Amino acid sequence: MIEIKKQIAAALSAATNDAISAEDAFSALEYPPSPELGDLAFPCFRLSRALHKAPPAIAAELVERFTCPAVERTVVAGGYLNLFIDKTYLASYIIEKTSSDDKPYGASLDGAGKTVVLDYSSPNVAKPFHIGHLGTTVIGHSLKKLHEFAGYHCIGINYLGDWGTQFGKMIVAYRKWGDKATIEREEIDALVALYVRFHAEAEKDPALDDEARAEFHKLECGDPENLALWKWFIEISLREYKKTYKLLGIEFDSYAGESFYTDKMPAQVELLRKRGLLEIDDGASIVNLEKYNMPPCLILKRDGSTLYPTRDIAAAVYRKNTYHFDKAIYVTSAGQSLHFAQWFKVVELMGYDWYDQLVHVPYGTVSIDGAKLATRTGNVVLLKDLFAAAIEKSRAIIEEKNPSLENKDEVADAVGVGAIIFHYLMGSRIKDINFVMEDALSFDGNTGPYAQYTYARTRSILGKADGTPAEKVTVSAPEEGALALCIAQFPERVKSAIADYEPSTITRYILDLCAAFNRFYHACPILGAEDKDVRATRVALVRAASQVLGNALHLICIKTPEKI
Ligand code: ARG
């Protein structure tokens, strides 16, 4: 609709003798709350001062003077000029725009020549990879896909939590209660069990924490045995994460985790000192942020060891120098918002002029069936278990409804995982989510499987259709126009999803599109339409819907089986 809206805006500007510029008219155009009112509305209030007239009088004049090939008719509604788009014009436009899969509709070159670095997923090694990480993983990857769709060059970074005192704890726990064979066999489950056990035992015996600190210190000093264990824990964890990423279709460009930046911090600490930003507070080195209404940012502990913000600052500088990003996006739970606000401010105070290219994208916290997550006690739902349950359910449904389906395993994976992602990405990201397993695994109503099923329906129709284009695009039913209108809105939704860092904009769009498509499908015979231009127009609309729906699903990390 962007191009069509531009045409309409230019015509509005002309009809008012330039009392409003085409750009201003463009941004003033609204979508009316219900389709009976019109497809677009122009509020005339904005002109009343310039034209010294009441808005309804301006609307009445515009009805007479406005002409545009994309618009079939206009009506006055109070102070609004409501516009009805010519549906044949619109359908021809959409059919033309979706005619090539190489240049899909909605893709753009807005970000051409620009680089975006995205830091997401980033689980902490040896701790469980659980439902709390679903947000950063799917929001992060979806933002990557959205930016790529808009022509940006994207670098996905998994900033693994591969350093810190938890490794001291793991080393102690392994030596006390672990054994190699069990870990080789049970992999990450065995590691998580050790992690949980450590915390349970340390409650009773706090000396264990001192032991853990000592082991971590040995690791920091390069003790070969501890180093070997550390590497082994990472290897096992990573193997597990990669299975989940594969299910989700996610690949990272870099797994440079926290440990990678160990030798990159001293230079930044030195710079902070040189700039006079460091203050000593109770032995620790901090940057005072009182002026900015924030608590101090901790740089060095009393014993001189570095902290989470120190590492993030060093990592940002490294990434700027390595990737020359135009934007660096960090996706984490809103619980970390202060951390990001603090170190972004410190980067600014250090004099890095790219501080305003750092973007934190927070999301709400997840609880399960009303209960808070608690990693330490093991009260979590692991992502692999969550996906396994969803896949099992989709497999059972396929066995029941379509037992002869080819690639049953692949389809079961795609549908099960799709259900979870879609459910998760339905609401705006900042809202807290109470994850109710039964809802997440529901395949009825407004769900991922419903959208995937709708996509498969488009593919099945296209598989049976011959591809002869219409000699004359012919729109004969309101459902065709409504579908074309919905398809036409895709590029705008993509732009707004990127501007707001909000994948749920796409999820909701998918539901609108599926609804419009299914209404059309039930109201209009497609392959059975008698008139050949009507039939060819409908097939072309199915092709357009299919392309856009498929791309929209991919933008939120959902796979699109051809058959379900
Ligand atoms: N590993 C961290 C966690 O699980 C998230 C890291 C986010 N990225 C960053 N650059 N701080 O809480």
- The percent of the chain in helix, strand and coil, each rounded to the nearest 5, is 60, 10, 30
308 domain residue, yes or no: no
Closest C-alpha to ligand 1, atom 10: 312
Tell me, yes or no, whether 229 and 188 share the same domain.
yes
Predicted pLDDT at 100? 87
CA 119 to ligand 1 centroid distance, Å: 8
CB atoms within 10 A of CB 492: 16
User: Is the Cβ–Cβ distance between 135 and 363 less than 8 Å?
Assistant: yes
CA 433 to ligand 1 centroid distance, Å: 20
- What are the tokens at 410? 């692949």
Mean pLDDT by 10 residues, the chain (564 residues): 95 94 95 92 92 93 94 95 97 95 94 98 86 94 98 98 92 95 90 91 94 92 95 93 93 96 95 96 95 97 90 98 98 97 98 98 87 66 88 92 92 95 94 85 89 97 92 95 97 97 98 98 96 96 98 97 94
Predicted pLDDT at 376? 61
- Domain count of the fold of the chain: 3
Tell me, yes or no, whether 395 and 335 share the same domain.
no
CB atoms within 10 A of CB 429: 23
Residues in the chain: 564
The one-letter code for the residue type at 317 is V
417 domain residue, yes or no: yes
Which one of 252, 336, 342, 343 would you pick to mutate in the ligand 1 pocket, going by the greatest count of ligand atoms within 8 A of its CB? 336
Q: What is the CATH number of the domain that holds 544?
A: 1.10.730.10
497 domain residue, yes or no: yes
276 domain residue, yes or no: no
Tell me, yes or no, whether 181 and 203 share the same domain.
yes
Euclidean distance between CA atoms 368 and 383, whole angstroms: 13
CA 238 to ligand 1 centroid distance, Å: 16
CA 92 to ligand 1 centroid distance, Å: 48
Euclidean distance between CA atoms 558 and 52, whole angstroms: 53
365 domain residue, yes or no: yes
Tell me, yes or no, whether 399 and 507 share the same domain.
yes
Euclidean distance between CA atoms 544 and 529, whole angstroms: 18
The response to whether residue 332 sits with its C-beta less than 6 Å from ligand 1 reads yes
From 386, 343, 344, 336, select the one nearest 364 (Cα to Cα). 336
Tell me, yes or no, whether 534 and 492 share the same domain.
yes
Sign of CA dihedral 7, 10, 14, 15: positive
Euclidean distance between CA atoms 286 and 349, whole angstroms: 13
The one-letter code for the residue type at 234 is I
Q: What is the CATH number of the domain that holds 80?
A: 3.30.1360.70
From 378, 373, 318, 353, select the one nearest 155 (Cα to Cα). 318
Q: What is the CATH number of the domain that holds 145?
A: 3.40.50.620
Euclidean distance between CA atoms 121 and 6, whole angstroms: 39
- What are the tokens at 124? 């902490």
Residue 86: CB partners within 8 Å, gap ≥ 6? 69, 70, 71, 72
Coil, strand or helix: which one is 9?
helix
Tell me, yes or no, whether 349 and 434 share the same domain.
no
162 domain residue, yes or no: yes
Tell me, yes or no, whether 48 and 136 share the same domain.
no
The one-letter code for the residue type at 449 is P
Where does residue 453 rank: exposed (0-12), middle (13-18), buried (19+ CB within 10 A)? Answer: middle
Pairing of strands 297-300, 327-333: unpaired
Closest C-alpha to ligand 1, atom 11: 312
Tell me, yes or no, whether 397 and 517 share the same domain.
yes
The response to whether residue 259 sits with its C-beta less than 6 Å from ligand 1 reads no
The response to whether residue 136 sits with its C-beta less than 6 Å from ligand 1 reads no
The response to whether residue 211 sits with its C-beta less than 6 Å from ligand 1 reads no
Give catalytic residues, as residue numbers.
Answer: 127, 130, 133
- What are the tokens at 22? 């085409």
Which one of 125, 159, 162, 166 would you pick to mutate in the ligand 1 pocket, going by the greatest count of ligand atoms within 8 A of its CB? 159
- What are the tokens at 550? 């498929």
CA 307 to ligand 1 centroid distance, Å: 12
- What are the tokens at 477? 């039913």
Predicted pLDDT at 369? 74
- What are the tokens at 365? 């916290």
Among the candidates 345, 377, 409, a domain finishes at 377
Among the candidates 344, 377, 410, a domain finishes at 377
Predicted pLDDT at 227? 96
278 domain residue, yes or no: no
Tell me, yes or no, whether 398 and 360 share the same domain.
no
Predicted pLDDT at 223? 95
Tell me, yes or no, whether 369 and 410 share the same domain.
no
Tell me, yes or no, whether 452 and 548 share the same domain.
yes
Instruction: Give the position, in ligand 1's atom list, of the atom nearest the Cα of 160.
Output: 1
Which one of 241, 332, 363, 376 would you pick to mutate in the ligand 1 pocket, going by the greatest count of ligand atoms within 8 A of its CB? 332
CB atoms within 10 A of CB 115: 16
CA 162 to ligand 1 centroid distance, Å: 10
Predicted pLDDT at 441? 80
The response to whether residue 159 sits with its C-beta less than 6 Å from ligand 1 reads yes
64 domain residue, yes or no: yes
The response to whether residue 312 sits with its C-beta less than 6 Å from ligand 1 reads yes
Domain carrying residue 514: 390-555
The response to whether residue 162 sits with its C-beta less than 6 Å from ligand 1 reads no
Euclidean distance between CA atoms 120 and 152, whole angstroms: 17
The response to whether residue 61 sits with its C-beta less than 6 Å from ligand 1 reads no
CA 459 to ligand 1 centroid distance, Å: 40
Pairing of strands 40-43, 80-85: antiparallel
Tell me, yes or no, whether 493 and 454 share the same domain.
yes
Which one of 122, 307, 330 would you pick to mutate in the ligand 1 pocket, going by the greatest count of ligand atoms within 8 A of its CB? 122
The response to whether residue 124 sits with its C-beta less than 6 Å from ligand 1 reads yes
Predicted pLDDT at 318? 98
Among the candidates 85, 106, 138, a domain finishes at 85
CA 209 to ligand 1 centroid distance, Å: 23
